[in-house]
Amino acid sequence: MSVNVDMFYFFNHNFQNPIFDAVMPVVTHFGGFKVLVVVLIAIILYAHLKDKKTLKRLTILALIAFLCSDIVTAILKHIICEPRPFVTLDNVHLLIAEDDPLSFPSGHTTSTFSVVTFFVLNMKELAKRHYKLIDAALIIFAVVIPFSRMYVGVHYPGDVLAGALIGIAGALIVNKYKNSIIKP
């Protein structure tokens, strides 16, 4: 077997327990496109209503990084057409229904890493006093989502690694040009 398949089985089988079986199918959806769009738009609306210009600007930029990264992922999914683990492997511990048959790269991981990376890069500007604590919480969230995708049986480790790299790259690019995209 390939390393990718061996590692998939490691994450999908070795951590099995009743708590993760109950929690991971819920947690995994927090990295999804719809959930993150709703969260980002809610933050933008909140920032607009409370006249928090920096929060609004940075959240709009995070949304741009998120959308750009997800477009790259969607294009790659349709070019590469890798089937999900539960489609091609036996004995997959599958805990969620997944309509999209394409696996590479992980969209949930891309979405999560683009948003988290962008906010971590800019958190000091947003939360001057407690930014390290918020950064740590965001990073834990970013690690849990790809783990959950493998645990619930819908992604290989290579899928989530690629998704993380695409999300990080999208955030870095938008962060580099943020003052040209939206002026402070």
- Rounded Cα gap, residues 66 and 86, in angstroms: 27
Residue 49 burial (CB < 10 Å; 0-12/13-18/19+)? Answer: exposed
- Rounded Cα gap, residues 112 and 108, in angstroms: 6
**pLDDT at residue 1, as a whole number:** 57
Residue 157 has which token pair?
């480790």
Cα end-to-end distance, the chain, whole Å: 52
Neighbours of 67 (CB within 10 A): 16
**pLDDT at residue 129, as a whole number:** 80
Mean pLDDT by 10 residues, the chain (184 residues): 90 95 97 96 96 95 98 97 95 93 97 98 85 92 98 97 98 96 82
146 prior amide bond cis, ω within 30: no
pTM of the model: 0.94
Give me the amino acid identity at 112. Answer: T
**pLDDT at residue 126, as a whole number:** 82
For the chain, give the DSSP string: --HHHHHHHHHHHTT--HHHHHHHHHHGGGGSHHHHHHHHHHHHHHHHHTT-HHHHHHHHHHHHHHHHHHHHHHHHHHHH-PBPHHHH-SS----S-----B-SS-HHHHHHHHHHHHHHHHHHHH-TTTHHHHHHHHHHHHHHHHHHHHHTTS--HHHHHHHHHHHHHHHHHHHHTHHHHS--
- Rounded Cα gap, residues 122 and 115, in angstroms: 11
